């Protein structure tokens, strides 16, 4: 027997989506709509049978999952109509919904590790909650799915992957792109599998319940394959499927059959549902849209004038960073450390995690070589209220996590209209001068700045990393931290200068100012990160050879840049040199110089100094030429 509550829920989903298609045709919806017409019972079976405290991550085809889990018809309709009362304030629309423990995102595959992180948070809290992540058969092509299946199986994470197999990836039939067997994929990772379809409704509801129970009681993941068929196009007007094939599935469709079998009941339900939708629509009509001030606020430059001498530490930087984590994991139980090869006694490639896994084995996770999943799991932990620190072993590998940075961490807060916070921290050692060659030496910083809602901090040899990490720990939004391989071994006490005052301001991410003891500087050098040390060590040489007296400004926050001190210095010198280790084209120097030119009321001369635009060679003599050093800087100043 099928509970009529389920039938009504499925019918509501279908009617809401049909309403969306009508509104779309009338030009009332901005963007696009992916409907799940024909697939509704997958939503009803899984999303409808979870507890409120469980969670769901869904994809672009998420309306059914949303309605079944949240019952929030108003929030969904208002969202698609672009209203402030929508569940994501109209920012997210069809593919980006958020309501309590429901999240959806339009990126294929990327949601799977995020869901795994969210489930890991449940496991760490031992609260008995589980989660479901919905993917389609098209998503089986994404690599991060397999990274995550490996991890959830290895770590016993209570997450169910529901694969809604509608036999098409957008408009491409499955046989074109999919090899092998779907369930065997999960079985290869030792994940328990279930199989259902949306035409045998009684069976899918029973199977869903069983698989939910399995995950909850065993604390292990499972993979549930649901064969289904969408009766409408992937999105709008992109359907080249055979009409006969579609008709075959229409004939199998439960709701259509139910209408034929029991016209009266169907009609009664339909009237009730239509009334509900009409009533919501008429209210939503009058709702307002989000204003830009509610959505976005500009970042202002600092006005600080509090300067103090830099405090020198007689400890190596890496030991200070390690000290921060030892202390913070003890102080804050939500602190989690993830990375590759970080278990002690090895303690990570650069020993930042030394002894951490001995002290806090339950919150230090050494991941497989799966950067995408590592970052995604960290994002999920952060969404669930943890403070994850994800270590990417070499800066060069950040290319593998860009999807998680840009399409997930960066966007969650805004696209869910402030309902979600993702205070993830991504740390990575950057830079060359160690002879590691092309793929372990490049400075990727320029790819890690200018990302919306993400602060990018670069450690340097002058500011105690414990101070910076303490500030980072309190951030509510994502932070990327660039560490420097050469600086790890440096003590700031080695950077005292006789003829200069080295001061820092009182900002959370301080700006450091290195000014001549009494002379008036005539050039300004702006830099950050690992460059600060070699510039400071060579300042006298620079003056002797160039006949110019510099003021050096070291930024610790490279996005967003605080221009106040740069402008003040350049106003005096009118000449600006920006030094970065990455290649200079479209680099951080380009951005900072553009920012200065926009803000300055005077004209300046400026020059970028960076690496040559070739992969970093391992051979020492060439590496020294390719990467910027004091001679590059001196030549740049002399030839200005």
Partner 1 sequence: MTILQKITVPHESVNDQYLTVITLCFKSGDIVKKNDIILELETSKTLLTVEAQADGFISYFCDKGDEVAVNDLIAQITDEPYLHEELLVTTHENDKKSEIKSEKRTDVETIFSIKAMEIIAKEGIKKELFNEFDFVTETVVLDYLNPGRQRQKEKNEIASQHSPKGSARNDIFQNDEKISITKLSNAKKREIEYLSSVQEAGLVSTIYIDVNLGSFFELVNPQLEYFKESILPVVIYESSRLLLKYPLLNAFYANGEIAVYNNVNIGVAIDIDDGLKVVKIHSTNDLGLNSIENKLMELVEKYQDRKLETVDLIDVTFTITDLSSNGAYFFTPLINKNNSAILGIANSNDHTNNVILSLSFDHRVTEGKVATNFLFELKERLISYSLHKRDHDIRKVVCYKCMKPLNDDLGEIGFIKVVNAQGLDKFICDTCLFYH
Please, which residue, 301 or 545, has the CB nearer to partner 1? 545
Binding mask 85-124 toward partner 1 (x if CB under 8 A, else -) reads: ----------------------------------------
Q: Which is nearer to partner 1, 176 or 544 (CB)?
A: 544
Neighbours of 296 (CB within 10 A): 10
CA distance 359 to 87: 42
Name the minimum Å distance from CB 519 to partner 1.
Answer: 5
Query: Whole-number minimum distance, CB 497 to partner 1, in Å?
Result: 10
Nearest to partner 1 of 5, 311 (CB atom):
311
Edge-to-edge strands, sheet with 222-227: 98-99, 102-104, 55-58, 131-136, 159-165, 222-227, 192-197
Query: Cα dist. 551→191, 572, 590 in Å?
Result: 60, 10, 19
Of 640, 536, 629, nearest to 580 by C-alpha is 629
The residue range among 73-81, 270-278, 291-299, 492-500 that interacts with partner 1, by the rule CB under 8 A, is 492-500
Rule CB under 8 A: is residue 540 a binding residue for partner 1?
yes
499 binds partner 1 (CB under 8 A): yes
Closest CB to partner 1 among 417 and 515? Answer: 515
The DSSP H or E segment spanning 611 is strand 605-611
Return the residue of 175, 544, 601, 602 that touches partner 1, per CB under 8 A: 544
Counting contacts by CB under 8 A, is residue 498 touching partner 1? yes
* Other Cβ atoms within 10 Å of 99 Cβ, number: 20
The encoded tokens of residue 152 equal 């959830």
Which range binds partner 1 by CB under 8 A, 313-321, 465-473, 539-547, 583-591?
539-547
Contact range with partner 1 by CB under 8 A, out of 175-183, 241-249, 423-431, 515-523: 515-523
Least CB distance to partner 1 at residue 232 (A): 53
Span from 50-58, 169-177, 518-526, 629-637 in contact with partner 1 (CB under 8 A): 518-526
Read out DSSP for 49-97? GS-TTSEEEE-SS-HHHHHHHH--HHHHHHHHTT-TTSTTTTTSGGG--
Residue of the chain from 543, 600, 612, 618 that contacts partner 1 (CB under 8 A)? 543
Total site size for partner 1, rule CB under 8 A: 17
Query: CB-wise, 257 or 571, nearer to partner 1?
Result: 571
Q: Is 517 in the site for partner 1 (CB under 8 A)?
A: yes
Binding span for partner 1 by CB under 8 A among 138-146, 179-187, 212-220, 545-553: 545-553
Sort strands 500-505 and 455-458 into parallel, antiparallel or unpaired: unpaired
Peptide bond into 248 cis (omega under 30): no
Task: Tell me the C-alpha distance between 188 and 169, whole Å.
Answer: 23
Q: Using alpha carbons, list the distances in angstroms from residue 384 to 54, 122, 332, 401.
A: 12, 8, 15, 20
Pick the closer one to partner 1 by CB: 506 or 638. 638
Nearer of residues 120 and 634 to partner 1, judged by Cβ: 634
3-class DSSP assignment, residue 505: strand
Q: Residue 440 or 548: which CB sits closer to partner 1?
A: 548
Only one of the segments 283-291, 299-307, 352-360, 511-519 lies at the binding site for partner 1 (rule: CB under 8 A); that segment is 511-519
Q: Supply the DSSP symbol for 552.
A: E
Token representation of residue 420: 């979600």
Query: In the Cβ-directed half-sphere of 305, how many Cα atoms lie within 13 Å?
Result: 1
CA distance 369 to 539: 42
List the alpha helices (DSSP H) in 490-587. Answer: 531-537, 539-546, 564-573
In sequence order, what are the residues at sequence separation of 6 or more whose Cβ sits closer than 8 angstroms to the Cβ of residue 617?
437, 438, 623, 626
Of 305 and 519, nearer to partner 1 (C-beta) is 519
Q: Check residue 548 for interaction with partner 1 (CB under 8 A).
A: yes
Cβ-based nearer residue to partner 1, 291 or 518? 518
The reply to whether 519 sits near partner 1 by the rule CB under 8 A is yes
User: Which span sits near partner 1 by CB under 8 A: 51-59, 204-212, 366-374, 541-549?
Assistant: 541-549
Of 583, 527, 580, the residue nearest 550 (C-alpha): 527
Q: How far is the CB of 567 from partner 1 (least distance, A)?
A: 14
Check residue 546 for interaction with partner 1 (CB under 8 A). yes
- Cβ proximity to partner 1, 459 vs 536, nearer residue: 536
Name the DSSP class of 138.
G
Stretches 43-51, 233-241, 364-372, 510-518: which one binds partner 1 (CB under 8 A)? 510-518
CB of 516 or CB of 629, closer to partner 1? 516
Per DSSP, what are the bridge partners of residue 503?
A: 309, 513
**Which residues make up the interface to partner 1 (CB under 8 A)?**
498-500, 516-520, 522, 540, 543-549
């Amino acid at each position: 027997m099928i509970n009529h509550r389920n039938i009504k829920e499925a019918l509501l989903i279908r009617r809401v989506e049909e309403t969306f298609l009508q509104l779309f045709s009338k030009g009332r919806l901005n963007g696009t709509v992916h409907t799940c017409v024909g697939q509704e019972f997958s939503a009803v079976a899984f999303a409808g049978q979870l507890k409120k405290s469980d969670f769901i991550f869904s994809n672009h085809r998420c309306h059914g999952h949303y309605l079944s889990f949240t019952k929030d018809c108003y929030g969904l309709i208002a969202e698609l109509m672009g209203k402030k009362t929508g569940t994501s304030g109209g920012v997210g629309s069809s593919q980006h919904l958020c309501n309590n423990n429901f999240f959806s995102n339009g990126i294929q595959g990327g949601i799977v590790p995020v869901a795994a992180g969210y489930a890991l948070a449940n496991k760490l809290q031992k609260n008995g909650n589980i989660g479901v992540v919905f993917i389609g058969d098209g998503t089986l092509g994404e690599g991060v799915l397999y990274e995550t299946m490996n991890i959830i199986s290895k770590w016993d994470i209570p997450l169910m992957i529901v694969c809604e197999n509608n036999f098409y990836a957008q408009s491409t039939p499955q046989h074109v792109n999919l090899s092998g067997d779907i369930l065997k994929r999960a079985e290869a990772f030792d994940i328990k599998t279930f199989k259902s379809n949306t035409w045998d409704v009684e069976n899918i509801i029973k199977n869903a319940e069983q698989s939910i129970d399995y995950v909850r009681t065993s604390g292990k993941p499972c993979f549930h394959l649901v064969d289904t068929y969408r009766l409408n196009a992937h999105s709008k007007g992109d359907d080249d499927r055979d009409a006969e094939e579609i008709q075959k599935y229409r004939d199998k469709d439960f709701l259509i059959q139910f209408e034929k079998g029991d016209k009266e009941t169907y009609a009664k339900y339909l009237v009730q549902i239509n009334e509900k939708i009409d009533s919501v629509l008429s209210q939503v009509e009058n709702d307002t849209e989000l204003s830009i001030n509610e959505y976005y606020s500009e970042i202002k430059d600092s006005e600080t004038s509090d300067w103090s001498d830099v405090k020198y530490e007689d400890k190596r930087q890496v030991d200070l960073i390690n000290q921060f984590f030892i202390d913070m994991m003890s102080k804050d139980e939500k602190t989690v450390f993830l990375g590759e090869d970080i278990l002690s006694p090895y303690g990570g490639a650069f020993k930042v995690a030394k002894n951490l896994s001995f002290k806090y084995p339950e919150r230090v996770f050494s991941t497989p070589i799966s950067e995408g999943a590592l970052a995604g799991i960290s994002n999920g932990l952060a969404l669930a209220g943890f403070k994850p620190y994800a270590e990417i072993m070499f800066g060069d590998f950040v290319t593998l996590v860009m999807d998680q940075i840009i399409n997930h961490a960066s966007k969650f807060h805004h696209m869910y209209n402030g309902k979600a916070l993702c205070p993830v921290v991504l740390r990575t050692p950057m830079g060359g001068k160690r002879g590691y060659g092309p793929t372990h030496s490049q400075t990727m910083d320029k790819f890690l700045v200018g990302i919306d809602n993400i602060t990018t901090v670069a450690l340097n040899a002058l500011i105690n990393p414990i101070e910076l990490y303490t500030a980072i720990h309190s951030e509510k939004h994502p932070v990327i931290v660039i560490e420097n391989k050469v600086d790890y071994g440096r003590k700031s006490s080695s950077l005292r200068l006789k003829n200069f005052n080295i001061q820092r301001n009182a900002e959370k991410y301080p700006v450091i100012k290195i000014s001549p003891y009494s002379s008036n500087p005539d050039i300004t050098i702006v830099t950050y990160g690992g460059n600060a040390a070699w510039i400071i060590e060579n300042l006298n040489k620079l003056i002797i050879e160039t006949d110019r007296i510099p003021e050096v400004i070291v930024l610790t926050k490279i996005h967003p840049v605080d221009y106040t001190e740069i402008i003040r210095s350049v106003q005096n010198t009118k000449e600006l040199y920006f030094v970065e280790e990455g290649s200079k084209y479209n680099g951080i120097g380009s951005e900072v110089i553009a920012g200065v030119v926009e803000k300055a009321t005077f004209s300046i001369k400026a020059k970028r100094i960076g690496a040559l635009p070739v992969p970093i060679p391992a051979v020492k003599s060439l590496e020294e030429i390719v990467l910027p050093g004091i001679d590059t800087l001196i030549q740049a100043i002399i030839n200005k």
